[in-house]
Amino acid sequence: MHDARALLELGADAVRRLARRGYQLDLSALDDLLSRRNKSIQRVDELRSESKRVASEVQRLARQGGETAALKDRARQIKDETRALETEQEHLAAQLRDVLLNVPNLPLDAAPDGDSDADAVEVRRRGTPPSFGFEPKDHVDLGEALGILDFAHATKLSGPRFSIARGAGAALERGLAALMLDLHTRQHGYVEFSMPLLVTPETMTGTGQLPKFAEDLFRTGTANRDLYLIPTAEVPLTNLHAGEILDAGSLPRAYTAHTQCFRSEAGSYGRDTRGLIRLHQFGKVELVRLCDPERSQAELELMVGHAEACLAALDLPYRVVTLAAGDMGFSAQLTYDLEVWLPGQDRYREISSCSDCGTYQARRAGIRMRGKDGRKGLVATLNGSGLPIGRTLAAVLENHQQVDGSIALPAALAPYVGFRTIRPDGTTE
């Protein structure tokens, strides 16, 4: 969330930057709303001061036996006017908050122009897509032929966009999560958490999922308790310190968690309906970092490297791209996507987004830091996938498939699953 005064101070530059991501900021309307709220606050303060003076004068006259009726009438008028202004002030404050909650983060100039994945700018490539002496299959055909993925029964149980992993497939899901968590905790210095999957509306608001993307969320709860299923562990991990003041000396903080994630995919009907690419429920290892805002871009580069390490360990070809300003997530000011090569689609597909959110989420969630000089300021928050289990499983199956339909697993994964090969009949060795 933005500070309204900061947006107004930026003026035309704020308008320009937000226009790059398709948002039209009405500065005059924002200025008017802020001015009316501030005038209301000022007038209430004036009335409270007058109320104290009138009360003091009433007491003085009463002691002297003087006439106090007119002053008491004025005191009642002040009270009524104050109540009315306080109601107006609350209404204006709510209006201002609603406006600001729906303004996306300001993109950095480092983000290229554009509003789709076609406008992303490639930064680097790692690994070479495999050359098969046969027509490679996609992960759906491979998984179903091996008997390790079952989409038909998942649809029977829950409807479309769900999956079931069986036997070696379930072992691969478990093993991939363990490998990623080991990399991030033992080599990259992240602290692992086991997080709730249900969170409050306030928690969702802190990271920017609400109010803008309510239709993309699964909502549950009871008559007296409103809860949401998390779309990513970024939500609870970032909000761990909502409303807190952190010692600047304790930064950066690096957190990771493996959770199930739940997304309605409201805006993606007809897209990626086949396989593991876009599901309503999926496992993911998430990375979150909290740091001094001056270090956020350096921390982003570090986080991207941590996500890349997972792909490198699994011998998966990938590329890194900088997302266009109009294609970034709502809370991001700069985002790198990691795209893995999928032979079954003959193209690179997004497998991780790593975003620098600057102080945008910290302002919404009230996450501050205190420096050695005692001054308080907002922290910067960053998040990234490190990595989603389903998409990574799809990439492993497709890139390591053999001519006979078997899968030769990368060496780093074998210790986590207890086998090196999935035979054509689904058995392992």
Catalytic residue list contains 350: yes
Asked whether the beta carbons of 350 and 117 are under 8 A apart, the reply is: yes
Rounded alpha-carbon distances, angstroms, from residue 67 to 63, 72, 73, 74 = 10, 10, 12, 13
Active-site residue (options: 163, 296, 331, 353) = 353
Whether residue 278 lies in the annotated active site: yes
Which is catalytic among the residues 339, 364, 391, 406? 391
Q: Given the structure tokens 């390490």, which residue do they identify? A: 309
How far apart are alpha carbons 329 and 349 in whole angstroms?
A: 17
Query: Catalytic residue among 350, 370, 420, 423, which?
Result: 350
Q: Which of 74, 253, 278, 370 is catalytic?
A: 278
Scan for tokens 């697993």, then name that residue.
409
Instruction: Say which residues have a Cβ less than 8 Å from residue 341's Cβ, sequence separation at least 6.
Output: 127, 129, 316, 317, 318, 347, 348, 395, 399
Query: Is 385 assigned a catalytic role?
Result: no
d(CA 4, CA 6): 5
The C-alpha atoms of residue 54 and residue 48 are separated, in whole angstroms, by 10
Active site residues: 263, 278, 350, 353, 391
